[in-house]
């Protein structure tokens, strides 16, 4: 399954490069595909074999990870790492906000390492001229744990 899936994702990478004129949108799709490929072993059980569009596949994986963060520590690790990568992806603001709200609800389950990673992200984002809107939930999450 891995070989077939990687083949499909590579085809999409070629399609993204050749057909999407908006470089910002193309970059978001490229980041999503790269993330899926790099984390394939951790998320292979979350893939939907019927969904081949990388944006929808990516958002579906993140949605399933978010839903499992309450009970699954490895899902929390993956979600926190994904948030802290801070790369632009399709539906990124919506998914990051949703993930941080879920982590906020279950903040007692986050490790000190998770909190340190999130604090480093907050420090990076607060120095931007226009911090992203999802930073509101990041700050709430960190404050709740302190």
Tell me the pLDDT tens digit for each residue of 27-68. 787 788 888 888 888 988 888 877 767 778 889 999 999 999
Pair 66, 58: CB distance under 8 Å: no
Contacts of 31 (CB under 8 A, 6+ apart): 87, 88, 89
Helix, strand, coil % in the chain, rounded to nearest 5: 75, 0, 25
Residue 134, C-beta contacts closer than 8 angstroms, at least 6 positions apart = 93, 96, 97, 100
Name the domain count of the chain. Answer: 1
pLDDT digits (tens, 9 = 90+) for 88-146: 888 889 999 999 999 999 999 999 999 999 999 999 998 889 888 888 999 999 999 77
Global confidence as pTM: 0.84
Quote the domain boundaries for residue 73.
Answer: 2-145
């Amino acid at each position: 399954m891995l070989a077939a899936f990687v083949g499909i994702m590579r085809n999409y990478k070629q399609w993204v490069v050749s057909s999407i004129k908006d470089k910002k949108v193309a970059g978001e799709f490229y980041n999503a595909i790269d993330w899926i490929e790099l984390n394939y072993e951790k998320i292979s059980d979350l893939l939907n074999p019927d969904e081949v569009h990388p944006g929808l596949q990516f958002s579906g994986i993140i949605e399933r990870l978010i839903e499992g963060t309450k009970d699954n520590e490895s899902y929390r690790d993956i979600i926190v790492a994904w948030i802290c990568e801070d790369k632009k992806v399709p539906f990124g603001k919506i998914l990051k906000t949703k993930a941080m709200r879920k982590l906020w609800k279950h903040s007692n389950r986050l490790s000190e390492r998770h909190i340190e990673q999130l604090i480093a992200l907050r420090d990076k984002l607060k120095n931007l001229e226009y911090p992203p809107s999802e930073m509101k939930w990041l700050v709430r999450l960190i404050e709740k744990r302190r």
